[in-house]
C-alpha cells in the first residue's frame, strides 16, 4: 500500500481555492502542463454534496512492466469526487477499469483557513492487490 499525502499553503481563502481546483479552467491548465486530459462523465447534486465523476488519461507512457499488467500504454482512470462545500471537504475514490476490485484508491481533500490564505491537505491511500507488480502499479499511479 502507498500513502499519498500533499500539504500546500495557498494565498487565497478556501472558497476561492475550491473554485479554482474544481473548475474546468484548472483541468485545462493541468492538461497543458502535464499532458493529463480529462472528461466529466457525470455531475449531480445530492443535497449539499456535489458528486462528479471525471475520467483522466495520462499523456505519459507507463513503465513497460506496468503496461503489461494493465493492458494499456497510458494510465486512464475514473475519479469520483464528493464535494461538500459547507464542510470544505472533498472525498474521492479512483477506479481503473482494467484492474477492477484489485485496486483501492481513496482519500480526502480539505481546505481550511490559515493566516492570510488557506491550507490544503490531500490525504489518501492506494493499494493494488496483484502479486509481483502491485507495488510498481501503485508507484505509477501515485506519480501521475
Q: What is the pLDDT of residues 80-111, one digit of tens each?
A: 999 999 999 999 999 988 888 888 899 999 99
Q: What is the C-alpha separation between 64 and 77, in angstroms, rounded?
A: 18
The CA radius of gyration of the chain, in Å to the nearest whole number, is 16
The whole model's pTM is what? 0.83
- Which residues are registered as beta bridge partners of 77? 56
> Are the C-beta atoms of residues 124 and 9 closer than 8 Å to each other?
no
pLDDT at 139 over 80: no
> Are the C-beta atoms of residues 31 and 37 closer than 8 Å to each other?
yes
Count, residues in the chain: 144
User: Rounded to 5 degrees, what are φ and ψ at 25?
Assistant: -60, -40
Q: Which helix (H) or strand (E) holds 144?
A: none
Residue 61 binned pLDDT confidence (cut-offs 50, 70, 90): confident
pLDDT at 103: 84
What 3-state class would DSSP assign to 39? strand
Q: What is the C-alpha separation between 96 and 77, in angstroms, rounded?
A: 5
Residue 11: name the closest of 121, 116, 122 by CA: 116
pLDDT at 144: 57
pLDDT at 132: 65
Q: Which helix (H) or strand (E) holds 142?
A: helix 134-143
pLDDT at 58: 87
Give the DSSP letter of residue 40: E
> Are the C-beta atoms of residues 114 and 50 closer than 8 Å to each other?
no
Amino acid at each position: 500500500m502507498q500513502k499519498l499525502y500533499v500539504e500546500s499553503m495557498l494565498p487565497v481563502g478556501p472558497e476561492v481555492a475550491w473554485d479554482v481546483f474544481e473548475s474546468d479552467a484548472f483541468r485545462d491548465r493541468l492538461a497543458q502542463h502535464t499532458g493529463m486530459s480529462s472528461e466529466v462523465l457525470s455531475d449531480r447534486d445530492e443535497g449539499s454534496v456535489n458528486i462528479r465523476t471525471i475520467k483522466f488519461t495520462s499523456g505519459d507512457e507507463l513503465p513497460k512492466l506496468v503496461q503489461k499488467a494493465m493492458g494499456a500504454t497510458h494510465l486512464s482512470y475514473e475519479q469520483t469526487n464528493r464535494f461538500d462545500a459547507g464542510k470544505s471537504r472533498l472525498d474521492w475514490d479512483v477506479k481503473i477499469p482494467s484492474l477492477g476490485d484489485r485496486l483501492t484508491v481513496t482519500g480526502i481533500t480539505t481546505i481550511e483557513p490559515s493566516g492570510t490564505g488557506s491550507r490544503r491537505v490531500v490525504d489518501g491511500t492506494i493499494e493494488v492487490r496483484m502479486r509481483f507488480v502491485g507495488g510498481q502499479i501503485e508507484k505509477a499511479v501515485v506519480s501521475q
